[in-house]
Amino acid sequence: MNNFRYFPGSKNDVAKLYRFLGIKDKKELFGKIIGDIPLLDTNILQALTKEKDEDSLYNFFLNINSNIPVKNKFSIFVGGGVYNHFIPSAIDALISRSEFYTPYTPYQPEVSQGTLFALFEFQSMIAEILGMDVVNASMYDGAESLAEAVLAAIRLSSANRDLPVNRKEDIILISEGVNPNYQSVIETFTGGTGVKIEKIKLNGKTGQTDISDLKSKIAIGKTVSAAVVQQPNYFGIIEDLEELEPIIHFKGVSEPVFIVSSTEPHCFGVINPPGFYGADIFAGEGNSFGNYMNFGGPLLGLFAAKKEYVRQMPGRIVGKTKDGKNKDAYAFILSTREQHIRRGAATSNICTNSSLNAVRAAIYLSLCSKSGFKKIASLNLKLAHILRDGLLTTGLFEPLYTGDFFNEFSLKIKENKNNISAAGFIEEMAKKGILAGVAASEKVIIISATENNSVSEIEEYIKNVKEVLYA
Amino acid sequence: MPKFPGIKGMFLDEEPLIIQGSKGLSGISMPDCGLKKSDLKKSENAYINEKYIRKKPIRLPEVSEPTTVRHFTRLSSWNMCVDTVFYPLGSCTMKYNPKINEKIASLENIKNLHPLTPAGLVQPVLKIAYDFNKILCELTGLAEFSFAPQAGAAGEFAGLKIIKKYFDLKGENRKTILVPDSSHGTNPASSVLAGFMPVEIKTGKAGTLDADELEKYISKDVAAIMITNPNTFGVFEKDIKKISDIMHKNGSFVYMDGANFNAFLGNVMVSDMGIDIIQLNLHKTFSTPHGGGGPGSGAIGVVEILKEYLPIPYVKFHIKKSVNNKSELFYELAEDKKYTIGRMTPFLCSFAIVVRAYAYLLSLGRENIASVSEIAILNANYVKKKLGKILSGSDPFEEGLCMHECVFNDKAIEENGISTLELAKILIDYGFHPPTVYFPKNIHGAIMIEPTETESIKTLDNFIKAVKEIKSKAKKSEALKSPKKTKVGRVNEVMANKQPVFKY
C-alpha cells in the first residue's frame, strides 16, 4: 500500500513534501522543531495494537455489540436521568448527512445557515415547550446545565444586591428531589468558591419539596441566591411550582433566583411547564428528544431563561437577522458573553457543546409535531400508571410517596421471604431480561415506563416480580 | 486559469416548519403499546391533579415525515463541511471523520445502552473505556485519563479543579494561573470558573514563551501555568522543558491545553516535556465529528500523583472466579478516588464519542499512528512556505518550522486593499471554508491555517492559488459584498445583536 486509507498523500507525496522543505526525514523534521525531546518508538507500544482493516474493525465491535444483551432482549424500565424513547429513522437519516455532522461551530454564518436555522428552530420549539423566553443552543447535559444555572444565579443575585460575585455568604437551596448526580455536579462546580449549599427536605408523605422547610431556609437574614427544584423530581413526583414560586421569590434581603430542572422534558406535553409559574431559569436534560441513550453520553443540556437574564446566560444563542439583500439570515448573537471574546470575564467557559444533539431534537420535535408531542406524553403517563397499579396489586410493594407522577415513580419493596434489597431485586430481574429500575436506597426502587414499553412488557414485569419476590 | 470548487449549484429556499403544513399533521410513528380502548380514552385528569395539566396548546409545527425530511435536507445543503470542502479552520483540527466509526457508534446495543444497566451486562463496554484509557496513557506518557469532561473547556475546568483541590488539601492558598496572551479564550475563562485568577504573560517575538520572562511571574501564589503546545501560532514552545522545571521547582503544575495535540500524536509523549495534566479533544485529534459545534469530549490525563483527584465514576476491574473456576476480569464503575474533584456529568462519559476515537486508534494501529502528526506538520509547513512567498512579509515567524498549523498577518493583503475578513468571505466563493481569522489576537488580522494530515498536496495547491488570485485581483468594492454564491449574503450581525430575535 502506498498510503494509509485516511491519508490522501502517497509515500511519494510525503517525499515530495520533505524535498520541498529541504528536510531529509522525520528525524530531522522533529529534531528541528522539538530539539532533544525523544521521539516515541511506536513499535514498542503495548496497549495500541496492530492496525486493523475495516472489516476486522467492524467485526471486532460487532462482536462486542452482540455480547451486550440489551436491544430486543431486554425490557427497559430504568430512567433515573435518561429515558428509553422511540427514535424515528428519519432522524438518523438526516443527521448522517455530512453537512450536519462534519462542520464545526458556525463562525462563518454565510456557510452555516443550515445548522444555524436548525438551531433557531430548536430554540423556538424548546422555548415553546418550556414556556420560557430564551433558550440557548446547548449545554453538555442536564447536570452541567444546572450547575451553570446556579453560577448564573449567583451572578444575577449579586448584581441585584449590587455586591461582588462569589461572596462567601452565597447560599444555594437545593431540593432533595433533585437527581443526586445533578446535586454532585453542582457541588463540583461550586466547590472551593465559598458558595454554601443547603438541602431542602421532601415532604415525607407527598414526596414534594417541603414547603415549611423551604420557608424556614429562605427566611430573612440569609442571603439565598437561588433555589433549585426538579420537575418531576428524582422520585418521579410532580412538584407544585405554583405553590413554590411566591415563597422562593421572597423579597427580603435577597430575591432568590427560581431555577427549575428536569430530566424528562416529555412531561411538559401533559403538565404545565416552568415558564408558566415564573421560573427564572430552566436547566435540564433534553436527551429524551430524539437522542440515543449512548450509555450516558453525549447528552443534550437545555438552558432557558427569562429574557431580562439573557446577558448572564452561558453558551451559544442563535438570533434571526437579515443579509445584505434583506433576506432572512441567522447568526450567533450576544457573543460578548462568551469566552472567545471576553476570556476571563465570560459568563462560562463553554465552547463546544451538544449542537448535533440539539439538531436531532429539532428534527424529532418537528416529526412529533403538535399532536404527536402531546400523544407521546399521554402514552407515557398512562403506561407508567398501569405499571404502578399492577405492581401495587401484587401486594409486594407499597408506594413511597402519594404525590402525582408522570412516567416515573418510586416503590418500596415490602418485607419479603428472601429479604431481597432493591439492588438485589434489580439483579434478579436483569437475569429475566428486565431492567427493572434504579435502586434509590436499601428498599426503594425508581421505575419508569415510556412509549417504548408495551402493555405486554408491563404484564411480563409484573409476572416476574412475583417470581422474584415470592421465590 | 485554475479551477476552484466554488459553489455553482442551486440553493433551494425553505421556510420555517412552523408556518408549513396543514393543521393537525404529524410525522411520527406512534408505537402500538397495546393499551385498551378504555385507557386510551381516559383523560389525563384521571391520573393527575387537574391543576397541573397543560391546557394551552403548544405551538409546534404540524407536518408529516416527508415535509420534515425535505426541510432538514434542504437546510443541510446550506452548510459547508469537511466532506464537501477544504476546511482549514486553525486550532480546530478539521480532519476527515472516518465513516466506519459512525457505523460502529450506531450499533444497536451500543447506542441503545442505558447508562444504569448493571455492570455484569455491559462488561465489553466498560472494557472499551478501560482499554482506550490505557492507549491514551501510552501515547502521552501520563498515568491515567478520565473521560468525564465533555469538551475541551470542561477538560480544562477539571484539570484546574484538580490543581485547586491539591493545594487546598496541602493547605496552600495559591490563586494564580499563568496564561500566555496567545492562549485560547477558554483558558482564562476556565481559570476563573475554577476559582483562580488568570494572569497573562506576554509571549516573545518568536511567538513562544520565554523561560526568562516566565521567571518574572513566579511566586508562591502561582498554582500552575496553562500552556498550549504547540502554541496558538502553531509554534513549538522550545523552552517547554525549562518552563516545566521552573514551575516544578516552585511547587506549581504544568497544565497543557491539548487542543493542538495533533502535532504530537504518535511521535511525542507530553510526559517528556514535563507536563502534569493535559486535556485531549477527541473531536479534534481523534477524528470524532465536530457535529456543527459539538458534541465532543475533553478527556483529561494526569501524572501519577494526581490520579486520585480525577473525576468519578471511573472504570476499574477485579479478578473474579467464573462458574467453571476460571479467573476472569470483572469491570465496574467505581467512585473510590480518595481526593476526587467529584462528578462532572450524570454518568460515565460521552461514550459514543469515546467509542469512535477508540475505533480510530484501532484502525491506525501502531504502524500508522506516527504518520498523523508527521503529515500534519509537513502539510502545514508546505502551506507556510508556499503561501509565505505570496503573502510576503506576512509570516510573523518566517524563520523556522511551524507544527500542525501556520499563521499569517494581514500585511500583504492589506497592501492590496483587502482585509482578513474580506479574504475569508471571498475564499468562500472559491469553494473553501475560511481559516480561523483574527485569532490569536496578538497577530494583526490573523489568518490561521490548519490543513491536517487528511488533505492532499493538490488541495493545498488549489487553496494557495485561490489566495494568490484573491490577493492580486480582488477589488475592495466587490470584496465588501462577498460571499455572493452562498445561500445568504453577508449576514448583518450588528442588527442581530441590536434587536435580538431568539425564536419564531
pLDDT in tens, A91-109: 999 999 999 999 999 999 9
Nearest partner of A280 among A350, A336, A334, A229, judged by Cα? A229
Best mutation target, A300, A352, A458, to test chain B (most B CBs within 10 A): A352
Q: In this predicted model, what pLDDT tens digit does every residue of B377-434 receive, in sequence order? A: 999 999 999 999 999 999 999 989 999 999 999 999 999 999 999 999 999 999 999 9
A1–B contact, CB cutoff 8 A: no
Residue-range domains of chain B with CATH: 102-361 (3.40.640.10), 371-493 (3.90.1150.10)
For B304-310, what is the mean pLDDT? 98
Q: Could A292 and B385 be called an inter-chain contact, meaning their C-beta atoms sit closer than 8 Å? A: no
Q: Could B57 and A370 be called an inter-chain contact, meaning their C-beta atoms sit closer than 8 Å? A: yes
A37–B contact, CB cutoff 8 A: yes
A26–B contact, CB cutoff 8 A: yes
Q: In this predicted model, what pLDDT tens digit does every residue of A201-258 receive, in sequence order? A: 999 999 999 999 999 998 765 688 999 999 999 999 999 999 999 999 987 667 899 9
| pTM of the model as a whole | 0.97
The answer to whether B386 and B421 have CB atoms below 8 angstroms apart is no
pLDDT at A319: 96
Say which CATH topology domain A75-85+370-470 has: Aspartate Aminotransferase, domain 1 (3.90.1150)
Helix, strand or coil for residue B204?
A: coil
Taking only residues 157 to 196 of chain A, the set having a beta carbon closer than 8 angstroms to any beta carbon of chain B reads: 166, 179, 181-182, 184-185, 187-189, 191-193
Q: In this predicted model, what pLDDT tens digit does every residue of B203-233 receive, in sequence order? A: 888 789 999 999 999 999 999 999 999 999 9
Q: Are strands B197-201 and B144-146 parallel, antiparallel or unpaired?
A: unpaired
Q: Shortest CB distance from B112 goes to which of A292, A331, A334?
A: A292
Taking only residues 205 to 234 of chain B, the set having a beta carbon closer than 8 angstroms to any beta carbon of chain A reads: none
Q: Could B77 and A381 be called an inter-chain contact, meaning their C-beta atoms sit closer than 8 Å? A: no
| Nearest residue in chain B measured CA to CA from A53 | B363
pLDDT at B325: 84
A107–B contact, CB cutoff 8 A: yes
| Nearest residue in chain A measured CA to CA from B165 | A192
Query: Is domain A92-364 annotated with CATH 3.40.640.10?
Result: yes
Q: Is the pLDDT of residue B174 over 70?
A: yes
Residues of A in contact with B359 (CB under 8 A): 57, 61
Q: Is the pLDDT of residue B71 over 90?
A: yes
Q: Shortest CB distance from B54 goes to which of A26, A94, A271?
A: A271
Q: In this predicted model, what pLDDT tens digit does every residue of A35-70 receive, in sequence order? A: 999 999 999 999 999 999 999 999 999 999 998 877
Q: In this predicted model, what pLDDT tens digit does every residue of A150-161 receive, in sequence order? A: 999 988 877 655
pLDDT at A296: 96
The answer to whether B288 and B353 have CB atoms below 8 angstroms apart is yes
What's the one-letter identity of residue B423? L
Weakest-pLDDT range from A191-205, A400-414, B74-88: A191-205
Taking only residues 121 to 160 of chain B, the set having a beta carbon closer than 8 angstroms to any beta carbon of chain A reads: 121-125, 128, 131, 134-135, 137-139, 150-154, 156-157
For B462-485, what is the mean pLDDT? 91
Which grid coordinates are listed for B177? 494561573
CA-to-CA distance for B371 and A1, rounded, in angstroms?
14
A34–B contact, CB cutoff 8 A: yes
What stretch of H or E contains B139?
helix B123-140
Neighbouring residues of A437: CB distance < 8 A, sequence distance ≥ 6: A77, A78, A79, A80, A426, A445, A446, A447, A448
Helix, strand or coil for residue A70?
A: coil
CA-to-CA distance for B415 and B393, rounded, in angstroms?
11
B425–A contact, CB cutoff 8 A: yes
A416–B contact, CB cutoff 8 A: no
The answer to whether B236 and A34 have CB atoms below 8 angstroms apart is yes
Helix axes A26-34, B351-390, angle to 10 degrees: 90
CA-to-CA distance for A297 and B49, rounded, in angstroms?
34
Counting Cα atoms < 13 Å in the Cβ hemisphere of B184 gives: 26
Q: Do domains A75-85+370-470 and A92-364 have the same CATH topology?
A: no
Q: B67 pairs with which residues across the strands?
A: none
Q: Could A42 and B164 be called an inter-chain contact, meaning their C-beta atoms sit closer than 8 Å? A: no
What's the one-letter identity of residue A156? L
Taking only residues 433 to 492 of chain B, the set having a beta carbon closer than 8 angstroms to any beta carbon of chain A reads: 433-434, 436, 439, 453-457, 459, 481, 483, 486-492
Q: What is the share, in percent, of chain A residues with pLDDT greater than 70?
A: 96
A143–B contact, CB cutoff 8 A: yes
Phi/psi of residue B128, each to 5°? -60, -50
For B278-296, what is the mean pLDDT? 97
The alpha-carbon gap from B412 to the nearest alpha carbon of chain A, in Å, equals 23
> What is the ipTM metric for this complex?
0.97
CA-to-CA distance for A437 and A426, rounded, in angstroms?
7
Q: Could B401 and A32 be called an inter-chain contact, meaning their C-beta atoms sit closer than 8 Å? A: yes
Domain ranges of chain A: 75-85+370-470, 92-364
Q: Is the pLDDT of residue A168 over 60?
A: no
Taking only residues 158 to 187 of chain B, the set having a beta carbon closer than 8 angstroms to any beta carbon of chain A reads: 161, 164-165, 168, 184-187
Q: Could A17 and B31 be called an inter-chain contact, meaning their C-beta atoms sit closer than 8 Å? A: no
Average pLDDT, chain B: 94
Q: Shortest CB distance from B48 goes to which of A42, A82, A404?
A: A404
Residues of A in contact with B487 (CB under 8 A): 110, 113
What's the one-letter identity of residue A104? Y
Nearest partner of B207 among B423, B403, B412, judged by Cα? B403
Q: In this predicted model, what pLDDT tens digit does every residue of A323-354 receive, in sequence order? A: 999 999 999 998 887 777 777 778 888 899 99
pLDDT at B1: 46
Give the DSSP letter of residue B79: B
Q: In this predicted model, what pLDDT tens digit does every residue of B226-250 receive, in sequence order? A: 999 999 999 999 999 999 999 999 9
For B41-64, what is the mean pLDDT? 96
Interchain CB contacts (distance < 8 Å): A and B: 685
Q: Could B345 and A297 be called an inter-chain contact, meaning their C-beta atoms sit closer than 8 Å? A: yes
Give the DSSP letter of residue A210: P
Q: What is the share, in percent, of chain A residues with pLDDT greater than 90?
A: 84
For A246-272, what is the mean pLDDT? 92
| Nearest residue in chain B measured CA to CA from A385 | B47
The answer to whether A76 and A293 have CB atoms below 8 angstroms apart is no
CA distances from B393 to A150, B387, B401, B409, B448 (A): 49, 11, 16, 9, 15
| Nearest residue in chain B measured CA to CA from A342 | B185
Q: Shortest CB distance from B341 goes to which of A188, A318, A331?
A: A188
pLDDT at A418: 78
Residues of A in contact with B187 (CB under 8 A): 343
Q: Could A427 and B76 be called an inter-chain contact, meaning their C-beta atoms sit closer than 8 Å? A: no
User: Residue B37: how many CB atoms within 10 A of its CB?
Assistant: 7
CA distances from A416 to A397, A459, A468 (A): 10, 21, 10
CA-to-CA distance for A137 and A130, rounded, in angstroms?
14
Residues of B in contact with A317 (CB under 8 A): 500, 502
The alpha-carbon gap from A218 to the nearest alpha carbon of chain B, in Å, equals 25
A15–B contact, CB cutoff 8 A: no
| Nearest residue in chain B measured CA to CA from A105 | B293
A435–B contact, CB cutoff 8 A: yes
Q: In this predicted model, what pLDDT tens digit does every residue of B334-379 receive, in sequence order? A: 999 999 999 999 999 999 999 999 999 999 999 999 999 999 999 9
Q: Is the pLDDT of residue A165 over 60?
A: no
B428–A contact, CB cutoff 8 A: yes
pLDDT at A336: 81
Neighbouring residues of A257: CB distance < 8 A, sequence distance ≥ 6: A152, A153, A156, A157, A225, A226, A227, A280, A281
The answer to whether A319 and A331 have CB atoms below 8 angstroms apart is yes
CA-to-CA distance for B421 and B410, rounded, in angstroms?
10
pLDDT at A159: 63
pLDDT at A220: 60
CA-to-CA distance for B251 and B230, rounded, in angstroms?
24
| Nearest residue in chain B measured CA to CA from A47 | B135
Give me the residue label for grid cell 385528569. B45
Average pLDDT, chain A: 93
